[in-house]
């Protein structure tokens, strides 16, 4: 910029001329300054607008991405495709999709915050309302005081008029410690009496390091939280306890042997104290050292749950490991049981309902409507099928009746079913037989229709017995836990290891059904086993007995 012209360098000019010139020059400089400020402001607004447009474009792209992810999540969870996924695959898919949705939402919030900062006239967004934390968690309060509460007016300290509270969830890492037990010895100073010393406390695993609490933690981590022992060993080393996986395996093997009588008694209680049981099986890959490969064993689940008709017996589930899926294993496991079993249409159960059955009278087989429904959905072509759509609507109508009578006594359930469900079932099978005659038996749809038509008697059994449910979904839910452990551990290393696996799964599965925290129960169980409680009262060691005791304690404490 050039130097301003100085008129005073010309002497002799009239003062009024000099004054007028200087006034014009000052006005010119002011106008130039205001123009520069206006130009800078306009350039700033243009830059802010361009930046805002960039953020808005990014925001639109993120919103489109979020909408697509939410649509994928809905299709996975609610769409027909979910019927083709097993429960483990479905959980993994939903988990990863929900993580992706949360990540995109976080990016959207960050971009929106940047846009809000550029838009000064816009009110700040309200913060997201935090979720309520469980009341049972311990609370640690920390008070953050101002640097000074001295009042600027000089009147002294300010007075507290209120406070703001915010709660956040914290985590305390695992900490291992060594408990050193000291038992002093006492003797008569004159040598006239023997030595006095307290008895050594009983341990579940004598001459071994772990306390009952540590054993319970390892068991829960492996069989409830699905963390294999080798990963637990890595985590222990990270927290200051170098531990070889083989040591953990030794602990679990010895503990599995000690809980065997408890699980066997629980299995006996389920068989002898029930007239209706759920039965299902799932694969259990086991290493076959002779071939260097895995062989397919099976966990057979036997479950009792009478809450559907408000029965007095507590729910429970026992997993039995067997090296195969032959019906002989089902007969062996159910030896001594007489009543009804709710099962899928696997042929291994068929002989149990005939006079060929050994170990008791012929059982009644109540087939699962959910399996029949899945067979229809699986047979549906991509273009759709009005036959399958109609079948699903008819089945849904029957399920609506079941929802209305859940929890009612057996006689009431049977009466309502005879009045409302029987006509629906009769019409359904009459319609189904008619449709089966129109469809090729070799087609997927023909096979799905024949699946239910051939087993009509078993599908109708729930109409005659108020203790029976329409499906075996309860036992399918129960076998998810061993399936999740299988997914993480890949396979069991030996048949004996698989049997130990099934015992822990039985205790933890029954804890879940009775609302019992597995770790607390296992600590109590291991402590009682160490103290010889097994020979005193084995019934008190059942998970449902622990649940009843916990309820009694809480009710006595509650004012």
111: containing domain: 7-118
Write the Ramachandran bin of 240: left for phi over 0, alpha for psi from -120 to 50, otherwise beta. Answer: left
- What would the pLDDT profile of 395-452 be if each residue is shown by its tens digit? 999 999 999 999 999 999 999 999 999 999 999 999 999 999 888 888 888 999 999 9
User: Does residue 142 lie within any of the structural domains?
Assistant: no
Q: What percent of the chain has pLDDT over 90?
A: 45
pLDDT the model gives residue 6: 64
What span, in angstroms and rounded, lies between the C-alpha atoms of 379 and 376? 5
8 Å CB contact between 376 and 392: yes
Buried b (16+ CB within 10 A) or exposed e, 295-329: eebbbbbbbbbbebbebeebbbbbbbbbeebebeb
Distances (CA, A) of 133 to 99, 159, 167: 21, 31, 8
Domain count, the chain: 2
- Domain termination residue (choose one: 118, 150, 170): 118
> Does the pLDDT value for residue 205 go beyond 70?
yes
Kindly state whether residues 113 and 260 are assigned to the same domain: no
Kindly state whether residues 112 and 260 are assigned to the same domain: no
Looking up tokens 């550029």, which residue turns up?
118
> Does the pLDDT value for residue 129 go beyond 50?
yes
Dihedral sign computed on CA atoms, order 333, 339, 342, 344 = positive
What span, in angstroms and rounded, lies between the C-alpha atoms of 342 and 475? 9
> Does the pLDDT value for residue 194 go beyond 90?
no
pLDDT band at 120 (very low <50, low <70, confident <90, very high): low
| Least confident interval from 83-92, 320-329, 468-477 | 83-92
pLDDT the model gives residue 91: 61
User: Does residue 93 lie within any of the structural domains?
Assistant: yes
- Domain termination residue (choose one: 52, 86, 118): 118
User: Does residue 294 lie within any of the structural domains?
Assistant: yes
Nearest alpha carbon to residue 487 among 279, 284, 234: 284
Token reading at 402: 């079941």
User: Does residue 219 lie within any of the structural domains?
Assistant: no
| Least confident interval from 25-29, 94-98, 135-139, 383-387 | 94-98
pLDDT the model gives residue 557: 46
**Average pLDDT of span 500-519:** 93
Distances (CA, A) of 45 to 37, 57, 429: 12, 18, 73
CATH of the domain at 282: 3.30.420.10
- What would the pLDDT profile of 524-550 be if each residue is shown by its tens digit? 999 999 998 888 899 999 999 998 887
- Domain termination residue (choose one: 118, 147, 163): 118
User: Does residue 247 lie within any of the structural domains?
Assistant: no
User: Does residue 494 lie within any of the structural domains?
Assistant: yes
User: Does residue 154 lie within any of the structural domains?
Assistant: no
User: Does residue 179 lie within any of the structural domains?
Assistant: no
8 Å CB contact between 291 and 317: no
- What would the pLDDT profile of 263-322 be if each residue is shown by its tens digit? 999 999 999 888 999 999 988 777 555 555 667 888 999 999 999 999 999 999 999 999
pLDDT the model gives residue 320: 94
What span, in angstroms and rounded, lies between the C-alpha atoms of 334 and 352? 9
């Amino acid at each position: 910029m050039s130097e301003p012209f100085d008129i005073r360098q010309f002497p002799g000019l009239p003062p009024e001329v000099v004054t007028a010139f200087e006034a014009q020059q000052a006005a010119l400089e002011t106008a130039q300054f205001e123009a520069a400020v206006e130009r800078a402001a306009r350039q700033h607004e243009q830059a802010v607008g361009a930046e805002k447009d960039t953020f808005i474009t990014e925001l639109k792209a993120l919103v489109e991405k979020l909408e697509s992810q939410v649509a994928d999540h809905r299709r996975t969870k609610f769409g027909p495709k979910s019927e083709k996924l097993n429960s483990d695959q479905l959980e993994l898919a939903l988990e990863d999709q929900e993580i992706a949705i949360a990540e995109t939402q976080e990016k959207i919030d960050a971009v929106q915050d940047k846009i809000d900062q550029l838009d000064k006239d816009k009110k700040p967004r309200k913060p997201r309302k935090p979720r309520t934390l469980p009341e049972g968690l311990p609370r640690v309060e920390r008070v953050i005081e101002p640097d000074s509460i001295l009042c600027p007016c000089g009147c002294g300290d300010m007075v507290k008029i209120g406070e703001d509270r915010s709660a956040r969830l914290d985590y305390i890492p695992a900490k291992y410690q060594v408990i050193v037990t000291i038992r002093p010895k006492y003797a008569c100073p004159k040598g006239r009496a023997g030595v006095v010393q307290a008895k050594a406390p009983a341990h579940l695993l004598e001459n071994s390091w772990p306390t009952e609490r540590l054993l319970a933690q390892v068991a829960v981590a492996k069989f409830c939280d699905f963390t294999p022992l080798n990963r637990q060993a890595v985590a222990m080393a990270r927290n200051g306890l170098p531990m070889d996986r083989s040591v953990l395996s030794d602990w679990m093997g010895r503990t599995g042997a000690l809980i065997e009588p408890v699980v066997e008694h629980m299995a006996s209680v389920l068989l002898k104290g029930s007239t209706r049981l759920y039965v299902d099986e799932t694969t259990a890959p086991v290493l076959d050292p002779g071939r260097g490969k895995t062989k397919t064993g099976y966990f057979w689940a036997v479950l009792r749950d009478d809450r559907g008709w408000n029965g007095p017996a507590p729910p429970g589930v026992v997993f039995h490991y067997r090296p195969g899926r032959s019906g002989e294993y089902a007969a062996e496991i159910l030896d001594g049981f007489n009543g009804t079993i709710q099962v899928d249409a696997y042929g291994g159960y068929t002989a149990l309902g005939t006079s060929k059955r050994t170990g008791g009278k012929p059982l009644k087989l109540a087939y699962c409507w959910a399996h029949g429904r899945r067979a229809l959905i699986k047979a549906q072509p991509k273009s759709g099928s009005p036959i399958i759509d109609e079948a699903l609507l008819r089945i849904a109508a029957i399920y609506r009746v079941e929802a209305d009578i859940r929890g009612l006594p057996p006689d009431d359930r049977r009466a309502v079913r005879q009045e409302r469900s029987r006509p629906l079932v009769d019409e359904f099978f009459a319609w189904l037989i008619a449709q089966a005659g129109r469809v090729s038996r070799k087609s997927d749809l023909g096979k799905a229709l024949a699946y239910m038509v051939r087993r009509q008697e078993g599908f109708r059994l729930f109409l005659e017995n108020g203790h029976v449910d329409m499906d075996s979904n309860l036992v399918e839910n129960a076998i998810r836990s061993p399936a999740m452990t299988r997914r993480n551990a890949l396979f069991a290393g030996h048949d004996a290891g698989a049997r130990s696996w099934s015992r822990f799964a039985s205790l933890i599965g029954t804890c879940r059904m009775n609302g019992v925290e597995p770790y607390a129960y296992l600590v109590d169980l291991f402590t009682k086993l160490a103290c010889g409680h097994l020979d005193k009262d084995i019934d008190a060691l059942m998970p449902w007995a622990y649940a009843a005791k916990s309820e009694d304690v809480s009710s006595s404490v509650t004012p």
